[in-house]
Every structure is written in C-alpha cells, then in structure tokens.
Structure 1
Amino acid sequence: MTTSTDMVIRTYGPGKVPPMLDVVADIWADAHPELVDNPGAESQGLSVPALHRQITGHLKHQGFALVVAYAGGTAVGFGYAFPCTAAYWFGPGLVDQVPEGARTERLMGLCELAVRPPWQSRGIGSRIHGELLKSIAPHWSSLLALPSNRRGHDLYSRLGYQYAGPYRNTADGPEFDLLLLRVGPDI
C-alpha cells in the first residue's frame, strides 16, 4: 500500500493547468459525492462544470498555483490558491470585519483542497496545503467551507484556521464559513 511518504507532490503554474482540469475535477467529484448527486448544486455553483469555470477564471491571477498529489502515478488530491487583495477576497460587505493584518498583509485565497476518499486522513491535504503556503508565501490564508463539510472543517482546524464569519458569494448562493489562518511572514 502506498503511504503519504510515497506521495509525489507537484506544483503547477497557470500555463500547465488547462490540460489538468478534468483530472482535478474528477478528484473534486470523488471528494464531494453529496454535491455531484445533488440536482440543486449546479445552481449554487457547486458542480464539476462550475469548478471548471471557477479554475479557468482564477488562472488570470498573478501567482496562481495548483498543487497535485500523486500516488503510483495517479492523482489523488489537489489544491489551488493565489495571492489576492482583501477587497477581492472578502468583498465590500466583509472586508472591514476581518483582522487588520488579513486586510493589509499578503493574503492567499485558498480556493479548493480535495483528496479522494480512500486517501483521506493520511496527511495528504496537509502536505498540499503546505506546498501552497510555500509557493505563495502569504502572511494570511483564507478559505470558504460549507458548514456541512465536517471532514474539511476538521482538517482546517488542525491546520490552525479559525472561523471568521458567514460568507455568501452571491445573494442567493449557499452560505459558507469564512476561515482565516495567520501564517506570518516566515513560513
């Protein structure tokens, strides 16, 4: 059996991502079967086509990084993030409610982090997260998690993220938990 120490972790910039969209979307679908089988998920932007659109739209951000974990040559997990401004990430309704450092220091927007279920709880998500932090070197990291995503919340809590408030991408979209991590200038 392959262990997390047998993992190969690769980081890709924007130019290498388009051919990998189906691979990462397949990982995402495996990690979120409750969304794949939910007919309302597409209208909430929580679907494989929505993920394709989301990643493609984020490729334009300077410093974009995709990290993929491989076991035996097969992709088993991924995450992607990019440096962003607080105004972009938090939006006008929330930007004044986050800590000053999250508004003024280097901020990483962590957009997705998913590991196939057979590979979860082996440290792979933590390793992907660590590689994103190395690649982007933020002072703060922020992400959105569905309140129902208990496994994700458990991982983010172990990584040090703290709840910062409720967040909606759109007025009629699902409510997420906004999570923040103070990374510091030295990773």
Structure 2
Amino acid sequence: MTPSTRTDVVIRTYGPGQVPPLLDTIADVWADAHPELVNNPGAATDGLSADALRRQVVGHLRHEGFTLVAAYAHGTMVGFGYAFPCTPEYWYGPDLLPDIPEDVRAGRLMGLCELAVSPSWQCQGIGTRLHAELLKAIAPQWSSLLVRPDNTAGRSLYDRLGYRYAGPYRNTPNGPVFNLLLLPVEDAA
C-alpha cells in the first residue's frame, strides 16, 4: 500500500467545544513529533513546549471557525492539526503587515497554527491529509503558517504542499525567529 492510500488512518474533525478533552493527547503527539524541543530548556523559554501548546490551543479556541483535525490509527491519535480563519492584521501584526502582498491582505486567510504527526507515522501522507481537511473545513483563499528554520521535516512537507517563504517572523520581540510561509489555496487544489 502506498503512503497516500492508507486506509487504516481515519481523520476526525473537531470544533472548539470538543477540543478540551483532547488537550493532553494532542500535547503528547506534539511532544512525540518534536523530541528536539522536549528536553531543550531554551525551547520551553521560547514557548515551544507541550505546556505552551496546551495554553496556545486554549487561547485559540475563542476564534470563530476554529477547527482541529486529528488522525487516528487503530483508535490512537497519531497526528493533528488546527487552524482558524483570521484577519491579516491579527495574523501578521502591524510590523509585518505592510510587507504582505495586497492580494493576501484582501483575501480570506487561514492561520495554520500546528500540524504534527508522530515520527513512526510520518512520510505516509497523514500530514497532507490533515492539511487538506483543514483547507476543506475553513475554505480560505490563502493559508499562512510559521515554521522553525531548523524544522526540516516540517519545511519539506510545507514545500511539497506549495507554501512559499514570505519572510522572517517573531511572535514576541525577543522570541525566536520563524519562517513565515504563504500558500495561495487555489494552487493547492
């Protein structure tokens, strides 16, 4: 069976009210997918930890259109992603907004906040399927995300999905620098 035709993986979609009971499970999947961050004290200081993920998700639940998708194999969650529709002003902030192309600023935007797949399930099309389900649920014209420059596996997936580098981005003034990526969704179809 080829990776893109796995039938033993089921994708489920959740709205904001269904997510709180899943927080520990998605934090475990995130930690499994990011072992380089789990035991790195600097990562926790930069807000890259399972606890920070839990807080981030809870904070994002208030956004209208919040959607979480999860991949299950044999009843066990092996991957997840979540996103929500947002304004360019919210997503990019006042410093970066002037550098964002006008057609992106004027279009419907999806902020992809997390996409993680357990290592033993990576490279089997699961991340692509999770991404497709988020695009289907939110129906944006543009998708945008942040990826750590050293996250080569994530960047490889995002490159295959059609995301392109738009510039450097910091969540906080002293936080780590991320790569801001953009995807015109009509190109992803």
Instruction: Calculate the TM-score normalised by the size of structure 2.
Output: 0.96
Amino acid aligned to 1:125:
G
SS in 2 for 1:52: helix
Separation in structure 1 between the aligned mates of residue 30 and residue 15 of structure 2, nearest angstrom: 19
Q: Which residue of 1 aligns with 2:114?
A: 112
Q: Which residue of 1 aligns with 2:158?
A: 156
SS in 2 for 1:27: helix
What is the number of residues matched between the two proteins? Answer: 187
Q: Which residue of 2 aligns with 1:59?
A: 61
In the TM superposition, what are the counterparts of 1:161-180 in structure 2 within 5 Å?
161-180=163-182
8 Å CA contact retained: 1:138, 1:185:
no
8 Å CA contact retained: 2:86, 2:109:
yes
4+ long deviations beyond 2 Å:
184-187
SS in 2 for 1:118: helix
Q: Which residue of 2 aligns with 1:122?
A: 124
Identity across matched positions, percent: 67
Separation in structure 2 between the aligned mates of residue 37 and residue 125 of structure 1, nearest angstrom: 24
SS in 1 for 2:42: coil
Worse overlay, 99-108 or 60-69 = 99-108
Instruction: Calculate the TM-score normalised by the size of structure 1.
Output: 0.97
Separation in structure 2 between the aligned mates of residue 91 and residue 119 of structure 1, nearest angstrom: 35
Do the aligned partners of residues 183 and 36 (structure 1) sit closer, same or farther apart at CA in structure 2, a change above 3 Å counting? same
SS in 2 for 1:60: coil
Asked if 1:36 is matched to 2:11, the reply is no
8 Å CA contact retained: 2:32, 2:119:
yes
Alpha-carbon deviation of 1:184?
A: 3.2
Higher relative helix content: 2
* Unpaired segments ≥5 residues, structure 2: none
Alpha-carbon deviation of 1:96?
A: 1.2
Alpha-carbon deviation of 1:40?
A: 1.3
8 Å CA contact retained: 2:13, 2:70:
yes
Alignment RMSD (CA, Å): 1.7
SS in 1 for 2:159: helix
Alpha-carbon deviation of 1:8?
A: 0.5
Amino acid aligned to 2:7:
T
Alpha-carbon deviation of 1:6?
A: 1.7
Q: Which residue, out of 85, 100, 103, partners 2:102?
A: 100
